[in-house]
Amino acid sequence: MGLSLRQIVTFLSGHIPPDAHRVFIDGEEKGKCTRASFRTVVVLSGLEFPVDYAYELDGATTTLSSRMRIQGLGAGGREQIKVNGKDVTGDDVVIGFEAPNAYVEFRFKDGETPRSVKFVAPLKDYSPGG
């Protein structure tokens, strides 16, 4: 099943509410998404994609953010991830589509331990009356 242009634009515009996202921490579904923001910004050097996500687990909130440039999309990009406002190493942001879902995955290292936090949302029409 392919994705419609409307579904892709809905995802890239950040119009999918946080409670529609599932959270996978190191491959295991757990936690609750409390913020999901994915925007497209036109700047002099091209396009940037600020992403700002947060999840709650066991009463603690963790925030993950990055400001990707157009040449940095996909695995192997040069995004700088901040976890709770602090820079991390071994970082990468992956945006993917697995119909009928889309996802934003933050990959980074916690010390020497590789970590992954993936926010998965269904691509359907979230516009009013849609």
**What tens-digit pLDDT sequence spans the chain (130 residues)?**
455 656 565 665 666 889 999 999 999 999 999 998 877 777 776 777 788 999 999 999 999 998 776 654 444 445 678 999 998 888 888 888 887 888 889 999 988 999 999 999 887 765 544 4
**Where do the domains of the chain lie?**
5-122
Burial tier of 83 (Cβ tally within 10 Å: 0-12, 13-18, 19+): middle
Q: Residues near 129 by Cβ (< 8 Å), separated by ≥ 6?
A: none
Reply yes or no on domain 5-122 having CATH 2.40.128: yes
Question: Do the strands 28-29 and 101-110 form a parallel or antiparallel pair, or are they unpaired?
Answer: unpaired
Integer Cα distance of 25 and 78 in angstroms: 22
